[in-house]
Amino acid sequence: MKNRELFLALDQIENEYKIDKQLLISSLEAGLASAFKKESGESRAVAVRMNPENYTIEFFAYQKVVEGEPQDDNELSLEEARDIKPDAEIGELIGEVVSPDDLSRIAAQTAKQVITQRINEAKREQVMSEMNEKEGELMQAVVRRVEPTGTVSVEIVGTQMEGILTTGEQVRGERLSVGDKIKVYIKKVRTDSKGTSRVMVSRACAGFVRKLFEIEVPEIRSNLVKIKNIVREAGLRTKLSVYSDDPNIDSIGSCIGPKGSRVNAIINELNGEKVDVILYSSNPSEYIVRALSPAKVLLVQLNETDAQARVVVPDDKLSLAIGKGGQNAKLAAKLTGYKIDVKPYSEAVAILSEEESEEESSEE
């Protein structure tokens, strides 16, 4: 039976929505077979073949030849099969072409359902594909909902996707309201057990700050200045170490910008969060000294085997070196990969004297 209009519609959908026509045809064949069985009451299995070359749709009702007694109407005994086809064999499909009484109505109803479903799926898949490509990027978003739990739902601008900003991915102390326009970092796309896809976004991760520097600093974008590492306690402080393979490039100056313009733009986006830009060094002691900025360091004793460092600072700089809640020292440790034990000068002298006494006693 012919249905030219249906096939022409499939061509149009393929071009407009970029949906593979063969995928549409396969879905339609399954849908038409199901609709025909429901309409006709046919107990046998039904297959549909759609031929886009000559615009035909054919329906087949068939049974599988089995050894012994058939278990249901989809099966046929070998004896019964050979009454229809003398040379029938076990496993063969025996059937006939059947014709629906009202193909156009069945086709139209089924096509509408299947095509609508496929278009919606294709749109979702297209958006999901785009979002997967955006992982690790910053995007503009608008706050649409703030849950009592604190989780924030955002609409990612330019897409139909909803982003989920959990409390753990929000900046400490930041208050978001419906309608706020914010930047978010695309962490990953997650599909739950129901098949619902959600974009997990963040404003608290180190990647958020990394992308801000890539936006503000052309030298980082062009890879002339490279970020060695970046650590962050969102809302409080970020430390990042940078370097360049070109000795003529001022890595720190590039990140800070003329009169601090570049780093200040980033700090403003971070609502005043402190940002320490540090020059990376392959010398662990020097790297640790720089990582503890803005504190002054008098001495670094390294245990490279255990990746530990004892750092001595002036007594009056101890609180600055450690930072509020130990924040500065913790971030410095994460940045360098060394466990850092900060000691004031007076205590370090006492410890050193005690260690020397113990060594002298052991020698005696």
The CATH number given to whatever domain includes residue 123 is 3.30.1480.10
Structure tokens at 362: 């052991």
The reported pLDDT for the residue numbered 359 is: 57
The reported pLDDT for the residue numbered 92 is: 93
Whether residues 14 and 77 share a domain: the answer is yes
The reported pLDDT for the residue numbered 358 is: 58
The reported pLDDT for the residue numbered 310 is: 92
Whether residues 58 and 146 share a domain: the answer is no
- For the chain, residues with pLDDT lower than 50 are 1
In the numeric block, the tokens 């479903």 are attached to 117
3-class SS of residue 98: strand
Whether residues 28 and 101 share a domain: the answer is yes
- Which of 173, 202, 231 lies at the terminal end of a domain, its last residue? 202
Rounded to the nearest 10°, the torsion over CA 243, 249, 253, 258 is -150
| Single-letter code of the amino acid located at 198 | R
With 0.75 as the threshold, say if the pTM is over it: no
Quick one: how far is CA 15 from the chain centroid?
29
Bridge partners (DSSP) of residue 201 are: 186
Give the burial class of 155: count Cβ atoms within 10 A of its Cβ; 0-12 exposed, 13-18 middle, 19 or more buried.
Answer: middle
Rounded distance between C-alpha atoms, residue 24 and residue 27, angstroms: 5
The reported pLDDT for the residue numbered 99 is: 78
Whether residues 139 and 88 share a domain: the answer is no
Phi/psi at 181 (5° precision): -100, 125
The reported pLDDT for the residue numbered 200 is: 92
Domain holding 83, by residue range, is: 4-131
The reported pLDDT for the residue numbered 36 is: 84
- Which of 280, 305, 338 lies at the terminal end of a domain, its last residue? 280
- Which of 178, 202, 226 lies at the terminal end of a domain, its last residue? 202
Give me the CATH number covering residue 353: 3.30.300.20
**Tens of pLDDT, residues 104-163:** 676 667 777 877 787 777 767 776 777 778 889 999 999 999 999 999 999 999 877 889
